[in-house]
Amino acid sequence: MADALRAGGTPAIELTGVVKEYSGHGEVVRAVRGVDLAIEEGEFFSLLGPSGCGKTTTMRMIAGFEEPTRGVVRLHGQDVTDVPPAKRDVNMVFQSYALFPHMSVYENVAFGLRRRGVDRDELDRRVREMLEIVDLAGREKRRPRELSGGQQQRVALARALVNRPRALLLDEPLGALDLKLRQAMQIELKRIQREVGITFVYVTHDQGEALTMSDRIAVMNDGLVEQLAPPREVYERPATRFVAGFIGTSNLFSGVVDRIADGLAVLRPGPGDRVLVPVEGKPAEGDTIDLTVRPEKIVITAEEPGGDVSKVRGTVAEVVYLGTSYSYAVTLGNGAEVTVFQQNAHSSDSSAERGDPVWLSWQPRHSYAMGS
Amino acid sequence: MRRVRAALAPYLLVLPGGLWLTVFFAVPLLAMLSLSTQEGNLVEGFRQTFRLQNYVDAVTLHWEPLVRSLLYGLATTAAAIVIGFPLAYWIAFKGGRRKSSYLFLILLPFFVSFVIRTISWKFLLTDEGVLLGPLKDAGVLPQGFHVLATDFAVIAGLTYNFLPFMVLPIYVALERIDPRVIEAAYDLYASRTQAFLRVVFPLALPGVFAGVLMTGVPAASDFVNASVLGGVDNTMIGNVIYNQFRASEYPMGASLSFILMALMLLGIFSYARALGTEDVLEVAAR
């Protein structure tokens, strides 16, 4: 992956074999267990994972607040592994903002420029311009605590961006905002990123946020990157069980390959059932494979569907009305439970009731075989 | 009924403290104020003559220890900041899980009586004592060298006694600083010195302010240190006031007390003004 990207130019940020270990109480905690990443110039890149997966530690190593135990961090091709944060050309937007409480909005934003000795006129122009971009013009004299959460968030953004860093690191920046504001800020962040054209590295545990904004996502778990791909691919073709489970709702099947034909493996979970999975070479007849199907890809019908589709029989265990859709829980013959989303487009859609025997079917391409 | 009780609750809560302060602070204070303008002596009794000349006499006769007390108070405060700030800083940021143990160590001397502590300093610093004796015998110090009965001895004693009052509030202020705010300063190109001067110190100011109040005021009005560690040239206003009352010169003692109080309030208010009181108090309130 890293090699393929390097061909297209020097990556903005590159991590090679990065490991971070903490020792304490006589044991070693491995927060990051070997991460290789190449983040392209101008990319909106997300590090996504549950808390404790190493995403924040990874970001802090890029910012320079943590030194890797092993491995190399490069910014624009330059090895910065031992360079302190003050001398790195990246800026950070902290979780809970970390604004200077004793300074006005203006002084907060001007802080970096002052440290770099930017002359007074240019400083004033750049600070005001940046406050304009984040829609805070006229609030220069306010103290951070006099601002709403969303406004503080924008001050934090302005304070970092005004320095025109070559990359901006954002550590769960929307975590403290309520849902409506968070969604508005997601769009706002994406707009600002396009406007300034700076590489954004975004740390979040919120899969929706990562899917909405990112060009690419690195899904992390237990100190390792499980998958690095564009949002669509991460969602549609999760590489591992963990990714499939962490991102969205996912149905996991596990079965023995009955036969292979035309690049499709055929599984027979129960009598009359047939699951078709596209496979690339590796599995042979008799192998066990894991596969996922997203709930919205599955069609629920009373009669057995025709054509070359995957189809399994089951019984409706639960129907949940969600407004725009229905969610069905269907129990299969082997006891496995499958979630199905059905758009609430026609009034006849809710035909299946609790206890009904039904057929579930989906296109072969919607089955996705995973690694372990 | 419940509403009446709820409305009364705040007053009931204030009542014990309010009563205590009225009886034992406000009333004696007014009595002293009245005393400060009276005339007379113990034998013939004191009469209220509203004699403001008492204040003029107090200043003319005792301006020297008055000025000395203020200077000692300032020196003690300055020394306590210089010694106390790094101490508080270290405990707050590098103390790790032992923070409370370190704070306890700072408070440990308080378990020994103030007077005993000061007298033990006298033993330490006395001319042929454990400290100076061997140094003199070894010829490191001249035979005539002495520490007791100098400005240094009194200021050192005051600093020692009041240091915890400087360390604790500064510690509390530093402890409340979000470490990410300091990281943000580094991230925005600040050097260690700049991060300290622009971010850490300003945010610790409410603590320093409280520390200055709690150290400077009692230090300037102290009399134990001067009488135990000082000599005739180190008399503080506290000693003078104490002696006036012992000699039954009540009006003089009272007027000196009020002069000291006025000077101190004046100093504190102009200090708060210079720092920007609102800011200090506001930041402190969070």
Give residue-wise pLDDT tens across range A244-285. 889 888 888 888 888 888 888 888 888 888 899 888 766 778
Determine the 3-state secondary structure of A101 from DSSP: coil
- Cβ of B283 and A101 within 8 Å? yes
Give residue-wise pLDDT tens across range B133-179. 888 888 888 888 888 889 999 999 999 999 999 999 999 999 999 99
Beta bridge partners of B16: none
> Are β-strands A357-362 and A70-75 bridged in parallel, bridged antiparallel, or unpaired?
unpaired
Six-digit token string for B117: 């502590």
B18 touching A (Cβ < 8 Å): no
Q: What is the pLDDT, as a whole number, of residue A333?
A: 84
Does the domain at residues B56-285 carry the CATH identifier 1.10.3720.10? yes
Chain A residues touching residue B202 (CB < 8 angstroms):
102
B98 touching A (Cβ < 8 Å): no
End-to-end Cα separation, chain B, in angstroms? 35
DSSP label at residue B153: H
Q: Tell me the whole-structure pTM to 2 decimals.
A: 0.80
Chain A residues touching residue B183 (CB < 8 angstroms):
65, 85, 92, 94, 98
Residue B282 has pLDDT above 60, yes or no: no
Q: What is the pLDDT, as a whole number, of residue A241?
A: 87
- Cβ of A102 and B279 within 8 Å? yes
pLDDT in tens, chain A (372 residues): 444 444 457 899 999 999 999 987 778 889 999 999 999 999 999 999 999 999 999 999 999 999 999 999 999 999 999 999 999 999 999 988 999 999 999 999 999 999 999 999 999 999 999 999 888 999 999 999 999 988 999 999 999 999 999 899 999 988 878 888 888 888 888 888 988 889 999 999 999 899 989 999 999 999 999 999 999 999 988 888 899 889 888 888 888 888 888 888 888 888 888 899 888 766 778 888 888 899 999 999 888 888 889 999 999 999 988 888 889 999 988 888 899 998 877 655 556 888 899 999 999 989 888 864
Contact assessment for residue A286 and residue A355, using Cβ atoms and an 8 Å cutoff: no
Contacts of residue A309, defined as CB under 8 A and 6 or more positions apart, other chains included, come to A276, A361, A362, A363, A364
- Cβ of B187 and A99 within 8 Å? no
By Cβ distance, the residue of A63, A100, A116 closest to B181 is A100
Q: What are the helix (H) ranges across chain A?
A: 2-6, 55-63, 105-115, 120-133, 149-161, 179-196, 207-213, 231-236, 241-246
Burial class for B3, CB neighbours closer than 10 Å (0-12, 13-18, 19+): exposed
Question: What's the rounded Cα separation, in Å, for the pair A366 and B182?
Answer: 49
Q: What is the pLDDT, as a whole number, of residue B254?
A: 94
**Domain architecture of chain A: domains with CATH:** 13-245 (3.40.50.300), 250-369 (2.40.50.140)
Kindly list the strands in the beta sheet with A78-79, ordered across the sheet, starting from the edge strand earlier in the chain: A27-39, A13-24, A70-75, A78-79
- Cβ of B190 and A115 within 8 Å? yes
Q: What is the pLDDT, as a whole number, of residue A121?
A: 96
Where are the domains positioned within chain B?
A: 56-285
Question: What's the rounded Cα separation, in Å, for the pair A252 and A367?
Answer: 10
